[in-house]
Chains A and B, each alone.
Chain A
Amino acid sequence: QSALTQPRSVSGSPGQSVAISCTGTSSDVGGSNYVSWYQQYPDKAPKLMIYDVNKRPSGVPDRFSGHKSGNTASLTISGLQAEDEADYYCCSNAGSHTLVFGGGTKLTVL
């Protein structure tokens, strides 16, 4: 159950778009549509932003979108806003009823 691979940090200016990648294997990301993304502010609990690869829970802005190709999933945030500055984690089903998270990506809004 090795953690999924995410870039440690990404940055963008307000109004721009950024993408965060999440690379796994055929045993997790590549073999599952149960890929999700969470947003976490410092010292706060995570918040679900994307599930089923590309679905948004009620209340999540449509600026957030998800995609998957092969063993890599991605989260794209368009029209960056200052409030988007946070840590982002991907998560995937990893077989045998287990889950695996990515190492996390710190998004900085310049």
Chain B
Amino acid sequence: EVQLVQSGGGLIQPGESLRLSCAASGFIVRSKYMSWVRQAPGKGLEWVSVIYSDGSTYYGDPVKGRFTISRDNSKNTLYLQMSSLRAEDTAVYYCAGRDVGDYPYFDFWGQGTLVTVSS
């Protein structure tokens, strides 16, 4: 059974940094197409970032230059390093992965972790 278990959310002040983790089991992170997707309170889904199986990474305009997606193959874990956080980054963040191939669909999702940016 595939499980993506997230950690690292919380309350943080504007301008600070935070790292989210997504630990996988039954699923090899290094060979998968994986993304971070966020959802502001009461709002819709917003795509944040992707890492392909070959390691290439891409970002949505609102987070480009501030967020970094990465993975640790030895820990089978996906990360999202977030810096210069703003109030508008407040959201539940989900990690999500594709089962087969580098296609933009997500068969598996983490449970979500809430990030609140507020002073």
Q: Is A36 an interface residue when CB atoms closer than 8 A count as contact?
A: yes
Residue interface bits A34-64, CB-to-B below 8 A is 1, else 0: 1010101000011110011000010000000
Please tell me the size bucket of the interface on B.
20 to 34
User: When A45-B94, A98-B58 are in contact, do A51 and B105 touch as well, CB less than 8 Å?
Assistant: yes
Q: Is A23 an interface residue when CB atoms closer than 8 A count as contact?
A: no
Q: How far is the CA of A40 from the CA of B44 in the complex (A)?
A: 10
| Contact between chains at B104 and A91 (CB < 8 Å) | yes
Q: Is B1 an interface residue when CB atoms closer than 8 A count as contact?
A: no
Q: Choose one: A45, A91, A93, A96; the contact of B111 (CB below 8 Å).
A: A45
Task: Identify the closest chain A residue to B62 (Cβ).
Answer: A1
Q: How far is the CA of A3 from the CA of B43 in the complex (A)?
A: 12
Q: Is A66 an interface residue when CB atoms closer than 8 A count as contact?
A: no
Task: Identify the closest chain A residue to B44 (Cβ).
Answer: A104
Q: How far is the CA of A96 from the CA of B47 in the complex (A)?
A: 13
User: When A45-B111, A46-B109 are in contact, do A104 and B45 touch as well, CB less than 8 Å?
Assistant: yes
User: When A1-B61, A46-B94 are in contact, do A98 and B47 touch as well, CB less than 8 Å?
Assistant: yes
A57 contacts which chain B residues (CB < 8 A)? 107
| Contact between chains at A97 and B50 (CB < 8 Å) | yes
Q: Choose one: B96, B104, B107, B110; the contact of A34 (CB below 8 Å).
A: B104
Closest CB of chain A to B109's CB: distance in Å? Answer: 4
Q: How far is the CA of A68 from the CA of B77 in the complex (A)?
A: 36
Q: Choose one: B45, B60, B94; the contact of A89 (CB below 8 Å).
A: B45
Q: How far is the CA of A40 from the CA of B50 in the complex (A)?
A: 21
A99 contacts which chain B residues (CB < 8 A)? 35, 47, 50, 104
Q: Is A86 an interface residue when CB atoms closer than 8 A count as contact?
A: no
Q: Choose one: B45, B59, B60; the contact of A38 (CB below 8 Å).
A: B45
Q: How far is the CA of A1 from the CA of B62 in the complex (A)?
A: 9
Closest CB of chain B to A44's CB: distance in Å? Answer: 8
Q: How far is the CA of A102 from the CA of B47 in the complex (A)?
A: 10
A104 contacts which chain B residues (CB < 8 A)? 44-45
What residues of chain A have their CB less than 8 Å away from a CB belonging to chain B? 1, 3, 34, 36, 38, 40, 45-48, 51-52, 57, 89, 91, 93, 96-104
